[in-house]
């Protein structure tokens, strides 16, 4: 059951596509006060969703969502992240935990995509550099959005991998994940771990393309001793 503190928590989800809507609905289902941010909060598709699955969620601009949230989630297309942060106003992220749900996918040569950021950098690191006063945690980027909340698979739950520089922020995100029904969360270290997590997304996409289905996840298994 969601505790009283979380029931009062305000969340801003920046991104009103399928990923953002799924995440916003998950927060709302756990009693959070949610504003979902969009370039066009009045667009028909979003308003239609708000009257159905998104009931109880408010819509606003990116700036309004960022100002509203005590906890923020970035859920836009990866290559739009810098523009969205600028639109929202970096000052609105200051001191807050920011969940980076994004992957920097490049479809310029078709499917499967490749990463648009490679080598000794990652989107997660760029987000942290753009928001030096925020506490960025990479999470949710290695699983399909239908499984963000109450993940259930034929052979148990997958592992949620997270990365970030601030231990307290990762504790906060771990609490959200537990609230969302995740029982297996593994912290791989600092925000530079986004390099590996974003690469795992590419593997996830390639597997989906081969299978012709997207109902899969990854599980960390450890030895018997």
Mean pLDDT over each residue of the chain, to the nearest integer: 95
DSSP sequence for 57-120: -EEE-HHHHHHH-SEEEE-S-GGGHHHHHHHH-GGGGTT-EEEE----EE-TT-SSPEESS-SS
Share of residues in the chain with pLDDT > 90 (%) = 94
Between residues 6 and 96, which one has the greater pLDDT? 96
Give the pLDDT mean for 182-203: 98
CA distance 131 to 35: 20
Tokens of residue 30, six digits:
């756990």
Q: How many CB atoms lie within 10 A of CB 131?
A: 22
| Domains in the chain: boundaries | 4-211
- Whether residue 2 is predicted with pLDDT greater than 60 in this model: the reply is no
DSSP sequence for 140-159: STTS-GGGSSS---TTS--P
pLDDT in tens, 151-161: 999 888 999 99
pLDDT in tens, 111-156: 999 999 999 999 999 999 999 999 999 999 999 999 999 999 988 8
Give the pLDDT mean for 192-219: 97
Q: Determine if the pTM surpasses 0.75.
A: yes
CA distance 193 to 196: 6
Length of the chain: 225
The CATH class for the domain spanning 4-211 reads alpha beta
């Amino acid at each position: 059951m969601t505790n009283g503190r979380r029931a009062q928590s305000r969340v801003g989800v920046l991104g009103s596509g399928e990923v953002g809507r799924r995440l916003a609905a998950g927060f709302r289902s756990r009693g959070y006060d949610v504003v979902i941010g969009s370039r066009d909060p009045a667009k028909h598709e979003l308003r239609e969703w708000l009257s159905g699955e998104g009931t109880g969620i408010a819509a606003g601009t990116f700036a309004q969502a960022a100002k509203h949230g005590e906890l923020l989630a970035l859920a836009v297309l990866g290559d739009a992240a810098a523009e969205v942060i600028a639109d929202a106003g970096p000052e609105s992220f200051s001191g807050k935990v920011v969940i980076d749900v994004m992957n920097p996918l490049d479809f310029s040569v078709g499917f499967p995509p490749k990463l648009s950021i490679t080598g000794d950098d990652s989107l997660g690191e760029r987000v942290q550099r753009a928001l030096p006063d925020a506490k960025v945690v990479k999470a949710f980027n290695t699983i399909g959005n239908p499984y963000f909340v109450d993940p259930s698979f034929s052979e148990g739950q997958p592992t949620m991998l997270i990365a970030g520089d601030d231990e307290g922020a990762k504790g906060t995100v771990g609490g959200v994940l537990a609230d969302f029904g995740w029982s297996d969360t593994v912290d791989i270290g600092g925000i530079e771990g986004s390099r590996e997590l974003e690469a795992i997304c590419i593997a996830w996409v390639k597997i989906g393309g081969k299978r012709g289905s997207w109902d899969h996840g990854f599980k960390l298994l450890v030895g018997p001793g």
